[in-house]
Amino acid sequence: MEPTISRSIDVPAEPATVWAWVTDLPRMGELSPENVGGRWLDGTGPALGARFRGRNRNGELSWWTRVRVVGFEPPHRFAFDVRTPFGSRVSRWEYVLVPSAAGCRVTENWYRIGSWVVRKFMGPRVTGRADRPGYNVRSIEHTLAALKARAEEQAAA
C-alpha cells in the first residue's frame, strides 16, 4: 500500500531518541498541530497491538479516536491505524526512521483509509476539515519540523 502523503526530514538525533518521541503518543500533542494527546489503554504502552485513545482539537471542535499499533519495529518503524469511536477505519499513520549523516531521516506517512461516507460527511463534520489531505500535508510538515527543533534544542543544551 502506497501512502497518500509522505514527507521526510533529517533530524540531528539518533534513531533510538526519535523513536522514543514518535512512539510516545500521550505526548504527541507537543509536536502535532491537531492531536492533543491521549492515553494508552490496558496499561500497555507502545507495542504491537497496543490500543490508544487519541484526543484531537480544531478550534472549538474536539473529538477522540480509537488507535491500534499495527507496525512496531524498534527503532525503525512505528505505525498505527485510526478509527472513529464507532469503529470505522479512517487512516493509518507511519513513522520510518533511517540512520543518516545528520542523525536520522524521519519519514511520516499518512494513508487515507476509510469509507466514502467517513471521508465526505462524517470526517468534515466532526473535525471541521473539508480538505483532510490538504490539511495533513501541513500537519505532517509541522510535526516533522517540531521533531527537528526538539532535537536541535537537546543538542544545544
DSSP output for 22-78: HT-GGGGGGT-SSEEEEEESTT--SSTT-EEEEEEEETTEEEEEEEEEEEEETTTEE
The more confidently predicted of residues 116 and 63 is: 63
Give residue 66's pLDDT.
Answer: 97
Q: Evaluate whether 130 touches 124 at the Cβ level (below 8 Å).
A: yes
Furthest CA-CA distance within the chain: 48
Query: What is the pLDDT averaged over residues 62-78?
Result: 98
Query: What is the pLDDT averaged over residues 137-148?
Result: 98
Give residue 44's pLDDT.
Answer: 83
Closest CA to 58 of 32, 26, 92, 22: 32
State pLDDT tens for residues 36-51.
999 999 888 999 999 9
Structural domains in the chain, CATH included, are: 5-156 (3.30.530.20)
What is the pTM assigned to this prediction? Answer: 0.96
pLDDT over 90 at 62, yes or no: yes
Give residue 116's pLDDT.
Answer: 82
Instruction: Give the chain's mean pLDDT.
Output: 95
Give residue 32's pLDDT.
Answer: 97
> What's 114-130 look like in SS3?
CCHHHHHHHHHHHHCCC
Give residue 118's pLDDT.
Answer: 84
State pLDDT tens for residues 83-139.
999 999 999 999 999 999 999 999 999 999 988 888 888 889 999 999 999 999 999
